[in-house]
Chain A
Amino acid sequence: MLSQEQNDQLTRVGPGTPMGELLRRYWYPIALASDLDGFPVKKVRLLGEDLALWKTPEGGYGVMQEKCPHRHASMAYGVVEPGGLRCGYHGWKFDTAGRCVDQPAEPDDSTFKDRIEGFAGKAQELGGLVFVYLGPDPAPELPRYDGFVMDGVRDIGHTMLPCSWLQIMENAVDPHHVEWLHGNYFRFLGEEKGFIAPPQFQKRHVKTAFDLFDHGIVKRRVLEGQSEESDDWRIGHPLVFPYQMWVGGNGVFQMQIRVPIDDDRTWFMLYTVHRPSGIDLPEQDEIPSYVFPWIDEDGEHIVDYIEGQDIMAWVTQGPITDRTAEHLGTSDVGIVQLRKLFKENIAAVQEDRDPLGVVREPHDVIELPIEGDKFGAGYSFATAWIDQGSMRYSPQKAFLRDLHVQAAVARGEQVLEEVES
């Protein structure tokens, strides 16, 4: 339970708010690179700010305030040109730093444009995503977390959710929900509706732990039948502060990304790399992407897959959950720790220090901890995730599944199903 004031502070992300100022110290993916290959400019929203994002003819990216500083028409309807984005209304042109570089209707000898500047952020592409930074200069390095740069077969599922990013992040330090939401509830649904829920998620938690590291919080668990020698305890996997979680195992690597669009809307993305050992991985010309559904035609939550269950739990809490009326127990200590971590880092920003996870050193890759053998489940962890997670909506689902089965055969694992190709 928190006071209302604390809940407000932790969930308000707009400019000038304490949390908003903290969150502006990080880069966020705000579009798929492929979005801008078809048409080079689009409207985006991040941290409560409307923006125009464009791909320059030179192959870079620019992002600036959506409203033209002239008379506030949308720059998302602008003209992309070498050297900048030109407003569609009267032709004022802005470079990627936000400087006005042309006002074609003003006299040739006018210096008016030199006194006009729009707010501009920074934008870069990494791993097929366009990342944006809206904070103060100097911008930190865009962290090259291993999931975005590693070899493998990529798959991007995404959807927009009508709830605060914070209640999604609190789920990332709540290991117990796995055995209940994805275990017990999934099993109940299967029994009622006539399918077999994945048994890998039904094991009881014996103990959990949360350890701070340079990029967030490493989450560890011992499940029934496991020892402290298991990967789930010895290695664990991290909440990547402040808005991501790195999860996977058994040849699947997934960055779960929760982009705060504003206080009560979150762009939820599952950026997955499939890299089972034992086979040569095929080249990928483009990264398939898709929107996965979570509401059916009757307006009910779709809960017969893993992320649909998570989304039900996040969205039914309300747009911003009322933390003055909650009842946390000892199994929620990860959440208590995360809230404290946010407050500590809000304070760091207020004291002009870099908050946790801000990277200043140029680097090739940042490797994050992740389990190799997840839940002791072997290759079936990967196939269950594909069959009964959001990847069941992927246009390459059958191919991904076959990839893991073929790799298991090549590794000499016992495989209980036919290999299709």
Chain B
Amino acid sequence: MNHLHDLPRHCPDCGAVIDNESGIATEYWQADRRIYHVWCGSCGWAGDIVRVRRMIGPDSPDD
């Protein structure tokens, strides 16, 4: 149930509330990445929101 505490509550595009009345956020996992697939019933935006604890960039080869 602790998965619920950071369930996205607002659309990242229009800011509308994502709740039972409008939209849905479904959690799924990709390896250790916890992803919320979100659909906003107000503006129709759909996409994934991922919590990131550590940013890792590409390691460019030396010139």
Contact B1 A324 (CB under 8 A): yes
Interface pairs (11), CB distance under 8 Å: A1-B3, A2-B24, A2-B25, A3-B7, A6-B20, A8-B20, A324-B4, A329-B28, A330-B29, A343-B23, A347-B22
- Leading 7 A-B pairs by shortest Cβ distance: A328-B28, A1-B27, A5-B20, A343-B24, A340-B39, A336-B37, A336-B26
Docked Cα-Cα span, A9 to B41, in Å, equals 14
Q: Report A193-232 residues with CB < 8 Å from chain B CB.
A: none
**Cβ of B16 under 8 Å from chain A:** no
Residues of B within 8 A of A8 (CB): 20
Q: Report A277-335 residues with CB < 8 Å from chain B CB.
A: 324-325, 327-330, 332-333
Other contacts beyond A6-B20, A330-B30: 11, CB < 8 A: A1-B4, A2-B27, A324-B4, A325-B1, A333-B37, A336-B28, A340-B24, A340-B26, A344-B41, A347-B22, A347-B41
**Cβ of A177 under 8 Å from chain B:** no
Q: Which residue from chain B places its CB closest to the CB of A346 in the assembled complex?
A: B41
Shortest CB distance B3–A (Å): 5
**Cβ of A392 under 8 Å from chain B:** no
**Cβ of A339 under 8 Å from chain B:** yes
Q: Which residue from chain A places its CB closest to the CB of B4 in the assembled complex?
A: A3
Provide the B1-34 mask, 1 if CB < 8 A to any CB of A, else 0.
Answer: 1011001000000000001101111111110000
CB-contact partner of A339 in B3, B7, B22, B26, under 8 A: B26
Chain A facing B: main interface SS: helix
Docked Cα-Cα span, A327 to B34, in Å, equals 10
CB-contact partner of B24 in A332, A333, A339, under 8 A: A339
Q: Which residue from chain A places its CB closest to the CB of B41 in the assembled complex?
A: A347
Shortest CB distance A131–B (Å): 30
Contact A333 B28 (CB under 8 A): yes
Docked Cα-Cα span, A336 to B37, in Å, equals 7
Q: Which residue from chain B places its CB closest to the CB of A329 in the assembled complex?
A: B29
Contact B28 A332 (CB under 8 A): yes
Shortest CB distance B23–A (Å): 7
Contact B29 A328 (CB under 8 A): yes
Residues of A within 8 A of B39 (CB): 340, 343-344
Docked Cα-Cα span, A332 to B29, in Å, equals 9
Residues of A within 8 A of B28 (CB): 1, 328-330, 332-333, 336
Shortest CB distance A158–B (Å): 31
Shortest CB distance A175–B (Å): 16
Shortest CB distance B5–A (Å): 11
Contact A5 B29 (CB under 8 A): no
Residues of A within 8 A of B23 (CB): 343
Shortest CB distance B61–A (Å): 30
Q: Which residue from chain B places its CB closest to the CB of A330 in the assembled complex?
A: B30
Given contacts A3-B4, A336-B37, A340-B37, contact A327 B29 (CB under 8 A): yes
Provide the A245-275 mask, 1 if CB < 8 A to any CB of B, else 0.
Answer: 0000000000000000000000000000000
Task: Give the interface centre of B1, B3, B7, B24 by most chain A CB atoms within 10 Å.
Answer: B24
Residues of B within 8 A of A329 (CB): 28-30
Residues of A within 8 A of B49 (CB): none
Docked Cα-Cα span, A359 to B31, in Å, equals 41
Docked Cα-Cα span, A105 to B2, in Å, equals 64
Q: Which residue from chain B places its CB closest to the CB of A337 in the assembled complex?
A: B37
Residues of B within 8 A of A340 (CB): 24, 26, 37, 39, 46
Residues of B within 8 A of A343 (CB): 23-24, 39, 41
Q: Which residue from chain A places its CB closest to the CB of B39 in the assembled complex?
A: A340
Residues of B within 8 A of A330 (CB): 28-30
Residues of A within 8 A of B7 (CB): 3
Docked Cα-Cα span, A343 to B22, in Å, equals 8
Residues of B within 8 A of A5 (CB): 19-20
Q: Report A1-43 residues with CB < 8 Å from chain B CB.
A: 1-3, 5-6, 8-9
Residues of B within 8 A of A336 (CB): 26, 28, 37
Contact A6 B24 (CB under 8 A): yes
Residues of A within 8 A of B25 (CB): 2-3
Shortest CB distance A12–B (Å): 11
Q: Report A86-118 residues with CB < 8 Å from chain B CB.
A: none
